[in-house]
Amino acid sequence: METRRTKRVTVAVQSLEMSPAEGPGRRSAPKRYRYSPEKTHAKTQKKGKTTTRSDHGGLSPYELERLENIRQNQAFLSSINLFQATEELKQLTQPKASQRRLLSGRVKAAAKEALPARKSLRLQNKEPNTLILPGEPEGLLYMQTSLKKPPGPLPMDPINMDEGSKLPSSLLELCSEGYPEERKVDLDLKDYRSALKNMRITEDTVAKVVKGHIYSASFHPCTSSLLVAAGDKLGNVGLWKLGGEGVDDGVLLFEPHTRPVSCMAFSRAHPTQLLSCSYDGSLRCMDVEKAVFHDVYDIEDGLRTFDFMSRDCSTLVVGNWLGEVAIVDRRTPGNTHESLHSLDKTLRCVSVHPLQKQYFAVAERRTVNIYDSRCLKNSKTPAVSQLHGHSLSISSAYFSPCTGNRLLTTCMDEMIRIYDTSSMTEKSPLLTSIRHNTHTARPTKLTKLSAVWDPKREDCFVVSSSRPRSVQVFHQSGQLQRHFVDGENFNTVLSVAAFHPSRNAFVGGNGSGRLQVFSD
């Protein structure tokens, strides 16, 4: 918790150094450099680099002005006691330099283990605490208090409609349509290919659904219309009924989180519910029936991924930034039970076995570990099975949707792999490797690309690529089934992709809040 506080403060200090009027300045592109007296300070203060020339020993008018600017900046910063405040904070929160080196390896692990089990303040029925810097400007205070939505249920008020607007009644009707009782037998692969071939993207199947970059997207199981949800970088969740009318062509925009919505999924048992987790540390459940976002789980650190652990979707496994998984039981409303288990901090993705729900796979660093949730320990839980062969970090790992006999991974070593997890032996064998450019443009701006199964089948998956811009559907053998290429209505990188659970449709989300649906 201490480190987190430090981090927040550091961020605040950084932004203050750059503001108020100058802006951060350009970091490169000297050929476009123009001398502009108002905009010089930050530019020349960039760490370790300077544009100053000292060939002649004396100072040029430009350099003199720069020094004057630095002096003025420092005077401003001193006037608000910032230096003093940061020094005090450093002493409070950081170990001395001589101690810092010790906090590594075993010592660090021991220090971590010695910490009491973390539990959110909400679950402890305590008020959230906020750290306030002495003499802190209001803007910074706002930054800190706005980091999280208040605990408890949030009303489902669309922020793109007039205040007090009710949800359209058609939404509840549509959301009540659940998954089909019986799953159809898999189509013959040839028929599947021709179904894919009929899938098109048109002007009507593209819409801006959220404002920020899309981090997660999911199809609602209904079939009478297509309904898609998307979560963005700003913590907003958008619902889009294709062909919808009214404000924004059937888009409803909500604000259940304040930071990127890292993962979302409709409940299979209660299709009126959409669960979403966020880097802001909260996991909420949108309930269309009650028109609220329930507060399911909430910790200080960011939540990265989750999956349902029970058929009724009441138990979840949730992975956070610290590499912990929490088993969250929401059967008793308002009294969520959680248990935390430390795994590797590089934890990226969790996936529950579709049939044997006690098993879940975790992408950790360069290995996928499959654990038994009944045998979890606080740390160093032994894996039931391991998947080896990745040479860089793994960005996603998913059990095949029907039997769980296969596991699909996407790795930064530019390979997609399929493992055989049918026997769940100590080491699950690798079946197929497919070379694929899994790198996106700057991952700060776009999320990493991941291969995801088509939930209608046991053996096919979709993955998008940024260069060339395309979306591909593969069979687990590595055989390409469909290649959607850059063309009319589709010319962006779809960093997030998801198939419809029963219809021939899939959706891609791009870096500017736009959803693109391919359907027949």
Partner DNA sequence: ACGTGATGACTCC
Partner DNA sequence: TGGAGTCCCTCACG
Helix (H) or strand (E) holding 113: helix 105-114
The residue to which tokens 């889009």 are assigned: 240
Q: Single out the residue of 447, 516, 491 nearest to residue 233, CA to CA.
A: 447
Q: Single out the residue of 488, 428, 513, 497 nearest to residue 200, CA to CA.
A: 488
Residues 108, 28: Cα–Cα separation, whole Å: 38
Residues 144, 140: Cα–Cα separation, whole Å: 6
Q: Is the peptide bond before 20 cis (omega within 30 degrees of 0)?
A: yes
Q: Are 285 and 265 in contact (CB under 8 A)?
A: no
Binding residues (CB under 7 A) for DNA: these are 11, 14, 24-29, 32, 46-47, 104, 208, 213, 260, 279, 302, 321, 345-346, 365-366, 392-393, 412, 437, 439, 441-446, 466-467, 469, 491-493, 510-514
Residues 120, 97: Cα–Cα separation, whole Å: 31
Q: Single out the residue of 115, 102, 3, 103 nearest to residue 378, CA to CA.
A: 115
Residues 77, 342: Cα–Cα separation, whole Å: 41
Residues 278, 298: Cα–Cα separation, whole Å: 10
- Cβ closest to DNA, residue 196 vs residue 261: 261
The two three-digit tokens of residue 363, written as one number: 């992408």
The two three-digit tokens of residue 470, written as one number: 């395309």
The two three-digit tokens of residue 71, written as one number: 């002096």
Residues 505, 509: Cα–Cα separation, whole Å: 14
Decide: helix, strand or coil at residue 70. helix
The two three-digit tokens of residue 493, written as one number: 């990188």
Amino acid at 221: P
Q: Among positive and negative, which fits the CA dihedral 256, 257, 261, 266?
A: negative
The residue to which tokens 């046991």 are assigned: 458
Residues 231, 239: Cα–Cα separation, whole Å: 9
Residues 465, 484: Cα–Cα separation, whole Å: 10
Decide: helix, strand or coil at residue 288. coil
Question: Is 311 exposed, middle or buried (CB count within 10 Å of its CB: 0-12, 13-18, 19+)?
Answer: exposed
Decide: helix, strand or coil at residue 296. strand
As measured in angstroms, the least distance from the Cβ of 365 to DNA is 6
Q: How many CB atoms lie within 10 A of CB 380?
A: 10
